[in-house]
Structure 1
Amino acid sequence: MKEPNSPLQIPDYRLFWLARFLAVFSTLSMVVLIGYQTYDIARSDYGMDKAQAALQLGFLGLVQFIPLFLLAPVAGWAADRFERRKVAICANLLDSFSAIALALLTLFDALNLPILFTIAAAHGAARIFTGPALTAIAPNIVPPRLLPQAIALSSMAWQAATVIGPAVGGLLFGLSESLPYFLSFALLLGSALLTYCIKPVYPPADGANLHPLKLMAEGFTFTVKQRFLLGCVTLDLFAVLLGGATALLPVYARDILKVGAEGLGIMRGAPALGAALVALWLSFRPVEYNVGTKMLWAVVIFGAATIGFGYSTNLGLSLVMLFILGAADMVSVFIRSTLVQLHTPDSMRGRVSSISGLAVSASNELGEMRAGVFAAALGSVGAVVIGGAGAIIVTALWAWLFPEIRRAKTFDTQYHDHDKGRVT
């Protein structure tokens, strides 16, 4: 039988790709609209001023992060202990309950801030189980030589859904505020069905008899010991934690650029469009050389574009800055994801992926908290600009603290002699 030249020639990978696309489409549409409704309800129903309402967006990020933080080790353990498809399916079904609850509560005009925060927390809990399980499936359904290409294509599915989901959600929200949530409910069920159609993916049995806490600790220990991996993950964590501007997009959409929910969907999709195009390029021309330097410069560009967006009062310029921001971020995501998948034993992929996912979630959700608090104290523009500058400063600091990143020429460089790369 002829070996495939592309992951898309593998039926199970096509099912995986589409399942991932549908899940991200629905969840990102929900995330964006929950943020918009939180800010809008705070302003209109609770009579809050801009600073107070922006702070609610910070609280929204916090309530999504708490379950992520508490359940990330459990999610990684579940992906390495149980049949991985079933873990992803259960997470999608749990998230579908959040979608239908939002649809019905929006339809009957019964939403308030406590309800939105509660559903956002449940949504965060479901997402932390979906990521490690799906991530651990991919290396089991494609040959190792196609894995970098499979990761790039998977990232493209993620980013394409991140473009289309919020944009479609925003447009549907303008027609009927409950309609995008009903669509998310249907798509999550579709994603669960597609995942079920993939062949069973069982984790290795070598850790079956170990205590769950020991298994969780092993994943953390492995990540910490791989300095290149640790540097990449923590760089992404702190750069996005400081530089993330997406939390304040509802403020820009409603009160600065005055483009409403429809404009918010387009703004939320702009960074994802930049990231999707880069992911498409990387699926044909993956990064192979000077990976560390390229990642560092990508984060610097990410920070600079964030500053440009913060100062912009023109929708066109804002979209350009968001596009550049997303394109630069995709380079970092690709390098980190490839590193994790290629150099993590299959028996630990779920746990290590959950740690990487926790870092991403921490940077996003805690970044929202940081942005909300800074916006309340300094104004939205000041919060975004200071965050972008912080991302650039962190990049310079990490280049010094983790010289392994600067010296990395290929993805195999994490295995040099540790004495040559140790910071003293």
Structure 2
Amino acid sequence: MQKKDPYASLRIKEFNIFLLVRFLLVFAWSMQFIIIEWQVYSITKDPWSLGLIGAFEFLPAFSMALFAGHIVDQKEKRNLLALCIALFSLISFGLYFLTTPELIEGWSSKTVLYSIYGLVFFGGFLRSFFGPTIFSLIALIVPKKLYPNAATWSSTTWQVASVLGPAFAGYTIYLIGVNQSLSIVFGLVLLSFFMMFFIKKKPIMNHKKGEPIAKSLKEGISFVFKTKAILGAITLDMISVLFGGAIALLPVFAQDILQVGAKGFGVLRAAPAIGAFITMLITAYIPISRNAGMKLLAAIFGFGVCIIVFGLSTIFWVSLVALFFSGVTDGVSMVIRQTILQLKTPDHMRGRVASVNSMFVGSSNELGALESGITAKLMGTVTAVVFGGTMTLLTVVTTGILNPTLRKLDLTKDLEEHEREE
């Protein structure tokens, strides 16, 4: 059997450009989110205002997701992503403008605050297009036999950018202030826009142009629910994020339970991301397509165990190790989930399937934080985290029993078929 090349997808020039664009976008978006949180709290001194930022981004992203998927499947992907980035640059410039000292002095705090919320809302609208467009574009850049390898490098790029963006934002806020930090975000978005044009325009794979929206949306949802492997992967991801949201309660653990202060909080916050990053790099060398279903179930089961251990721990290093391995297991499941979605989704439906996925998974991040907050209030912090981990374990066991298609899923045959086709 031919040895797998861990850098196979990286040998495609356009894919490298795509990874650079994705890194710049995720880095800029996550950096911008942290800066805006800081600015809004500086204006209001009210924690509730931070929750509103998430709500204003979540509502349009969730409500527009299916319609965005329909549009993505009907349009050429390179130009559509370039348009999204151009609109994102307008948001970034708007936020930069709203934080200039001259404007802050001339406008009331309430006007500035509402204007920021308005731009965040527009950003949520754009977010509903970014996910499906990026998911669809990957499939048009790399051949199908390289999907697992491409999913690994794409997920790794996302992970690195989402870790470095917030860290860099905190650093620049301290050094040069909010306004100049947002000018860096604007510059990064512009750079990603110009880099997009080094990728060639791609063919439109959906030949049902002009199909009624209702029929198109119904077809996308129906496909996901009929394809047990995709439905199982999406459901597991949603539940693990929804009930395993220990990260949302990290400040409580750092200050009141582990008593490690701000420095310890930063280390704990970074641990899952480091674990996931290392795992994704390893999966580039060790393919995980064989017995993918069982590996996915085992990874999310392991994630649930790590969350329970973290919840029960009162020792800093034990909590740190638990969070690290929660990232390791999440990294494995992330790569497998992305591979399943890429291999099992027909080209003409990628936008709609990615939109359904974003509705399940994207919303579960915000809802997971809400669930953690409510259960912590009702049950206590430790009980809430243990409850979340336990619910994750029960979901894995139930899915494994009720969804034999996912349990027995092996992606090696899919990959071999695609290799023969190409």
TM-score, normalized by length of structure 1?
0.83
Describe how 1:105-124 pairs up with structure 2 within 5 A: 105-106=98-99, 108=101, 110=109, 117-124=117-124
Give the corresponding residue for 1:339.
Answer: 340
1:6: Cα distance to partner? 1.6
Q: Deviations over 1:292-338 (max 9, x none)?
A: 12111211222222234445566655543332222211211111111
- The reply to whether residue 136 of structure 1 matches residue 136 of structure 2 is yes
The Cα offsets for residues 108-148 of structure 1, whole Å up to 9 and x where unpaired, read as 46588756654443332222211111111111112222221
Cα deviations by residue, 1:231-274 (Å, 9 ceiling, x for unpaired): 111111112111123334455667775755x8766554432222
Partner of 2:157: 157
Equivalent residue, structure 2, for 1:186: 187
Provide the C-alpha distance between the structure 1 equivalents of 2:82 and 2:402, rounded to a whole number of angstroms. Answer: 40
- 1:388–1:235 distance in 2 versus 1, CA, 3 Å: same
- The CA deviation string for residues 19-77 of structure 1, in whole angstroms up to 9 with x for no partner, is 01111112223334555666x559x824xxxxxx4x66555444332112211112211
Structure 2 Cα separation of the partners of residues 376 and 180 of structure 1? 35
Distance of 2:133 and 2:226 partners within structure 1: 23
Give the AA of the match of 1:23. Answer: L
Aligned to 1:360: 361
Counterparts of 1:24-423 in structure 2, within 5 Å, are 24-35=26-37, 45-46=45-46, 53=47, 59-106=52-99, 108=101, 110=109, 117-178=117-178, 179-249=180-250, 259-260=261-262, 267-311=268-312, 317-410=318-411
CA-CA distance at 1:377 after TM superposition: 3.9
Range moving further from structure 2, 127-136 or 83-92: 83-92
Q: For residue 207 of structure 2, give the secondary structure of its aligned residue in structure 1.
A: helix
Q: Which amino acid aligns with 1:345?
A: P
Query: What's the CA shift for 1:187?
Result: 1.5
1:416 paired residue number = none
Q: Distance in 1 between matches of 2:296 and 2:38?
A: 32
Instruction: Give the aligned partner of residue 19 of structure 1.
Output: 21
Larger displacement relative to structure 2 (271-280 or 59-68): 59-68
Give SS of 1:27's match. helix
State the shift of 1:387 in Å: 2.1
Counterpart residue number, 1:422? none
Give the whole-Å Cα distance in 2 for the aligned partners of 1:405 and 1:36.
43
* Residue identity (%): 36
Query: Following the alignment from structure 2 to structure 1, what is the Cα–Cα distance between the partners of residues 391 and 119?
Result: 31
Contact 2:73 2:349 in 1 (8 A): yes
Indicate the RMSD between aligned Cα atoms, in angstroms: 3.0
Say how many residue pairs are matched: 400
User: Is the 8 Å Cα contact of residues 230 and 344 (structure 2) preserved in structure 1?
Assistant: no
Residues 206 and 347, structure 2, Cα contact 8 Å, conserved in 1: no
The change in CA–CA distance for 1:196 and 1:401 in structure 2 (over 3 A counts) is same
In structure 2, how many angstroms separate the alpha carbons of the residues matched to 1:116 and 1:192?
Answer: 23
- Supply the AA of the counterpart residue of 1:73: L
Q: Deviations over 1:377-409 (max 9, x none)?
A: 445444433322322222222222223222223
**In 1, Cα distance between equivalents of 2:268 and 2:186:** 23
Q: Matches of 2:390 and 2:187 in 1, distance apart?
A: 41
Please tell me the residue identity of whatever aligns with 1:307. Answer: I
Residues 385 and 36 of structure 1: CA distance in aligned 2, closer, same or farther (over 3 Å): farther
How does the TM-score come out when normalised to structure 2? 0.84
- Look up the SS of the partner of 1:203 in the other structure: coil
The 1:306/1:137 distance shift into structure 2, 3 A limit, reads same
Distance 1:270 1:117, change over 3 A: farther
Contact 1:21 1:161 in 2 (8 A): yes
Q: Which moved more, 1:95-104 or 1:24-33?
A: 95-104
Q: State whether residues 231 and 402 of structure 1, in contact with CA within 8 Å, keep that contact through their aligned partners in structure 2.
A: yes
Distance in 2, matches of 1:115 and 1:324, equals 41
| Pairwise CA distance, 1:374 | 3.0
SS of residue in 2 equivalent to 1:198: coil
- For structure 1, the 5+ residue unaligned runs are 47-52, 414-424
Question: Distance between the aligned counterparts of 1:266 and 1:107, measured in 2?
Answer: 33
* 1:287 partner SS: coil
Deviations 1:168-225 (A, max 9, x none): 2222233344144332222222222222321002322411031122222211111110
Distance 1:240 1:22 in 2: 25
